[in-house]
Amino acid sequence: MDSGGFIERQVQSRREVMAMLESRSLMVVSGRRLVISLLTGVIADRCQWFGSATSEAEALELLSERQPDLLFVTHPLRPGSGLELVRRAKALHPTLPCLLLLEEESPPLVRAALEVHCDGICADRGVGFGNLVAATRAVLGGGFYMDPQLRDLLTQASRTSHAPAGPGLSEREQELLELVVRGYQNPQIASRLHISVETVRSHLKSAFQKLGAAGRTQAAVMAVCQGLVSWHLDELP
């Protein structure tokens, strides 16, 4: 193993995380004080530290005062639920980016994280700065991130379970969601399918409503979880 290369990649990833969080306010909520200590030790010197908490109640008290730029939460909390905290945090601050770290990996927990509108979902096992860089970049950029192992877990669960029929998506709506999942933006979808951008917007709006999704990323992930579309990250445009 090239230990020198590994260390260099970790150092570079740390620099990227710090650069993205520079002059931003970060709040960390975890039932494990070690997680809080590690994160504060790594990045607190570059970001505007908002605060930390170990329980759901403590976190909500801080969030009632103002909104940070990023909320990092682990699940479970002690006491409380990281999932419930995200749900209530989103009710207080609908635009608050929330990054969740799951101690346990299971399809029901990942689906629950999607249902409370987490912007990023990472697995505790094997998490490193590489994951955090990708997740932080996506979440602060207004996008969504899910660890590949969690994505694969959901895909496998969808294939092995007898999932109920989808919410009446048309073939065209499924086709568009497939392209959204693969990273295509509306103009690229329009060009690929030889339709207008307005038609793309119309079809996606209909798909979002049928899925009960708040936006394109959530709709795409919900469709993947329900086995309505496939997710192939190696097919990005």
- pTM flag (> 0.85): no
Render pLDDT for 96-127 as a digit per residue (tens, 0 to 9): 999 999 989 888 898 889 888 898 898 887 66
Bigger pLDDT: 127 or 197?
197
What value does the mean pLDDT of the chain take? 79
Render pLDDT for 21-54 as a digit per residue (tens, 0 to 9): 777 888 999 988 777 776 666 555 556 777 889 9
**Least confident range of 42-51, 63-72, 184-193:** 42-51
The per-residue pLDDT for 35 is 73
Domains of the chain: 3-157 (3.40.50.2300), 164-235 (1.10.10.10)
Pairing mode of beta strands 98-102, 25-29: unpaired
Would residue 126 be called left, alpha or beta, if left means φ above 0 and alpha means ψ between -120 and 50 degrees?
Answer: left
The per-residue pLDDT for 81 is 95
Is residue 15 over pLDDT 90? no
Starting at the edge strand that comes first in sequence, how are the strands of the sheet with 25-29 ordered?
48-53, 25-29, 70-75, 98-102, 120-123, 145-146
Residue 28, token pair as written in the block: 């960390």
Is residue 156 over pLDDT 80? no
